[in-house]
Amino acid sequence: MERSHRYFLMVAQCGSVTRASEELNVAQPSLTRLIFKLEDELGVTLFERLPRGMKLTPAGTTLYKHLREIDASYGRALRDIRAHRDGAHERIRIGAGLAYRVALIPQLLDAIRAKYPRLTHTVITGSTEFLAQQLADGNLDIAISASARFTAEPAVKVHELGQIEHGVAHLPGTFPDIAMDQHVALSDLADKEWITFLLDENLTESFNELFFHHKLPLPRVVLNTNSIQLGLSVQRERNAIMAVPTLLKPTLAKEGVLVNPTSEPLWRYASGIAVLRASEQHGIIRRVADIAIELGERMDLS
């Protein structure tokens, strides 16, 4: 990639020539001249100059998107060259939403270790938007999460696993008249304290709309966290209830916590396993993705 392109990417990411020059260790006037020269060569304005920074124009956004793809592709090429040189990938990078990180990733890592004992792993947990960007940028090999964001990317192949539905996790005795698999009425949830999870970015909006539609008081959220263990601790202290994917039922049962579906799902979304199409040609990545798919299809998402 040309120097002007790399510098353009840094200015776009920083939103400021000053910050970009510090990151690049390049004099600010030189960086400014280079950006102007790139604009002259392309015959378009790439940035809107604002009092407090730089904002991409539509043309700049288009260039940024393509150069990010080129940069990510080059990074993958370097990694693949090293893999050919060394005979194997030394590391596989997996991203997962919170539910799959808890319910699927431990099994997946055990299976990978059994088949590829010398392979090391990086596991990242994040929102679907974050994981999709990391996958597109070449920072992940596989992502397991809500699938809608991934299916919109032509460079990504998605294997759908099914619908994930959020229900309610509670301590025994919280709903004494509810059987193990019985649906909890929304009206029975109206006076409870709630724990929610930050990575489920659309959950709060979804169940607020649901409660409002049924003319019920909006849920009182006492904790919003990324940690299931912290959620469990606060739940025991306050006898609060947690909004969780029902696929976590076996995991939470080990903690003495029950999970029931609700009369209407608090949130529902399609989920899947995403891999860059360019990575399918790489044996280890493809086989690890196949293992993840096999394990994911065995899971009970209901």
- Three-state SS string over 128-181 comes to HHHHHHHHHCCCCCEEEEECHHHHCCCCEEEEEEEEEEEEEEECCCCCCCCCCC
Extract the tokens encoding 66: 């393509």
Phi/psi at 7 (5° precision): -70, -40
Residues in the chain, total: 302
Q: Which pLDDT score, from 0 to 100, does residue 195 have? A: 92
Extract the tokens encoding 55: 């904002």
Residue with tokens 């399918």: 280
Q: Which pLDDT score, from 0 to 100, does residue 24 have? A: 87
CATH class of 3-68: mainly alpha
The residues, ordered by sequence, that sit 6+ positions from 294 with a Cβ below 8 Å of its Cβ are: none
**How far is Cα 257 from Cα 247, in angstroms, rounded to an integer?**
13
Phi/psi at 116 (5° precision): -130, 75
Straight-line distance from the first to the last Cα atom of the chain, in angstroms, rounded to the nearest whole number: 47
CA atoms within 13 A on the CB side of 291: 21
Give pLDDT tens digits along the chain (302 positions). 688 888 899 899 888 888 888 888 888 888 899 999 999 999 999 999 888 888 999 999 999 888 887 887 777 677 667 666 655 556 788 999 888 998 999 999 999 889 888 788 889 988 888 888 888 777 888 999 988 888 777 778 899 998 989 999 999 989 888 887 889 999 998 889 999 887 766 777 888 889 889 999 888 899 988 888 999 999 999 999 999 999 899 999 999 999 999 998 888 889 999 998 777 777 778 888 899 999 988 887 76
Q: Which pLDDT score, from 0 to 100, does residue 150 have? A: 83
User: Would you kindly state where each structural domain of the chain is located, as residue ranges?
Assistant: 3-68, 89-162+270-298, 165-268
Q: Which pLDDT score, from 0 to 100, does residue 127 have? A: 85
Q: Is the Cβ–Cβ distance between 155 and 136 less than 8 Å?
A: yes
Residue with tokens 């060394």: 86
Do 3-68 and 165-268 show the same overall fold? Answer: no
Q: How much is the pTM?
A: 0.70
Q: Is the Cβ–Cβ distance between 183 and 260 less than 8 Å?
A: yes
Q: Which pLDDT score, from 0 to 100, does residue 205 have? A: 81
CATH class of 89-162+270-298: alpha beta
Q: Is the Cβ–Cβ distance between 95 and 131 less than 8 Å?
A: yes
User: How far out from the chain centre does Cα 181 lie?
Assistant: 29
**Which residue type does 29 have?**
P
CATH class of 165-268: alpha beta
